[in-house]
């Protein structure tokens, strides 16, 4: 029974997951690459590095890394919504406590939390969004670089 297998795994596994990425250092990107089972591409941009993870179904996750080596923003575009738990790491709590604003019914929302912004929009087979930590954005950049 799978259920029993699951319990077994639950007992056996380490309790500290390999969470990425938002707010973590650049090394966490590798954890996301592994978690999302994607292809990793690094693009040097003015004032930051863009780590692009392309998943098997073509969905793309972008991670924006400051010169200091901190992931200050993430974005996604794909047929499915990514695992926020993996992608947002400890900022899940900020998301959970945030306010829903600028809602377009069933289509889009902005979540504004403590030192946290997330926009999500789309529909089945076409989800897009991005999240960033304002305090981590280098002074030379604006949130608009998180695309």
Partner 1 sequence: MRDKVLPFSNKQDFCTLVRVLFIVAGLTGLLVMAGCGGGSSSAPAPSTPGVSLSATTLTFAAAVGATQTQMVTVADNGSASDSFTGFSFSGTNASDFSQTNTCGTGISAGANCTVSVTFTSSSAGSGLTATLSIADNASGSPQTVALTATAAAPTATLTPTAGLTFNSQGVGSSSAAQTATLTNTGTVPVTISSAISITGTNAGDFSQTNNCPASGSTLAATTNNTCTINVTFTPTASGTRTATLSVSDNATGSPQTIPLSGTGAVGTVSLSQNSLSFSSYSVGTTSSTMSVTVTNSPGASLTIASIVLGGTNPTDFALTTGTNQCTYAGQTLAAGGSCSIYVDFTPASVASFSAAVTITDNSGGVSGSTQNISLSGAGFNNTVQVNVSLGPNGNIPNAITTTVTVCVPGTSTCTTIPDVIVDTESIGLRLLASGAVNVTGTQVGSLGLPTITDSSTSYPIYECYLFGSLDYAWGPLAMATVTVGGETASEIPGAAANTGIPIQIITTNTPPEGVWYPETNTNYEEGAYYNPCLYGETSTGEIYAFDGGNDGTVSVLGANGLLGISNAPQDCAVATTNYCTNIATTDFTYLEYDSAGYPGSDCSTTTTSTPCTFVVEPTPLDYQAWNPVSTFPVDNTGSILSLPTISTSGSPPLTGTLTFGIGTETNNAITSQTVYEVDEYGNLNYLEYNGVQYTSEDSGGAFLDSGTSFLYISDETALSQDGVSVSDCTSGGTDTGFYCPSTTQTLPLTVSGINDISSPNITLNIANEVSLVESGNAAFNDLGGPSCEGGSAAGCTTATDFWDLGLPFFFGRPVYVGISNLAGTGAYPNGYWAF
Interface ranges with partner 1 (CB under 8 A)? 1-7, 9-11, 13, 17, 34-37, 55-59, 77, 79-86, 88, 92-93, 95-96, 98, 100-111, 117, 119-130, 132, 142-144, 146-147
CB of 64 to partner 1, least distance (A): 11
Rounded to a whole number, what is the distance in angstroms from the first to the last CA of the chain? 43
48 burial (CB, 10 Å; 0-12 / 13-18 / 19+) is buried
CB of 68 to partner 1, least distance (A): 20
Q: Smaller CB distance to partner 1: residue 25 or 147?
A: 147
Q: Smaller CB distance to partner 1: residue 3 or 44?
A: 3
- Please state whether beta strands 108-113 and 99-104 pair in parallel, antiparallel, or not at all (unpaired): antiparallel
CB of 138 to partner 1, least distance (A): 14
- What does the alpha-carbon distance between residue 23 and residue 13 come to, in Å, rounded to a whole number? 25
* Cβ atoms of 125 and 114 closer than 8 Å: no
């Amino acid at each position: 029974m799978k259920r029993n297998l699951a319990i077994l795994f639950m007992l056996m596994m380490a309790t500290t997951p390999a969470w990425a990425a938002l707010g973590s250092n650049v090394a966490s990107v590798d954890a996301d690459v592994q978690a999302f089972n994607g292809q990793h591409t690094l693009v040097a941009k003015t004032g930051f590095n863009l780590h692009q993870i392309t998943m098997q179904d073509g969905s793309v996750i972008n991670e924006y890394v400051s010169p200091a080596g901190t992931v200050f923003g993430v974005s996604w575009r794909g047929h499915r919504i990514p695992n926020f738990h993996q992608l947002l790491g400890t900022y899940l709590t900020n998301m959970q406590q945030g306010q829903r604003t600028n809602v377009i019914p069933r289509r889009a929302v902005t979540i504004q939390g403590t030192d946290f912004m997330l926009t999500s929009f789309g529909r089945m087979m076409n989800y897009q969004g991005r999240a960033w930590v304002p305090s981590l954005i280098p002074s030379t950049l604006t949130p608009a670089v998180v695309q």
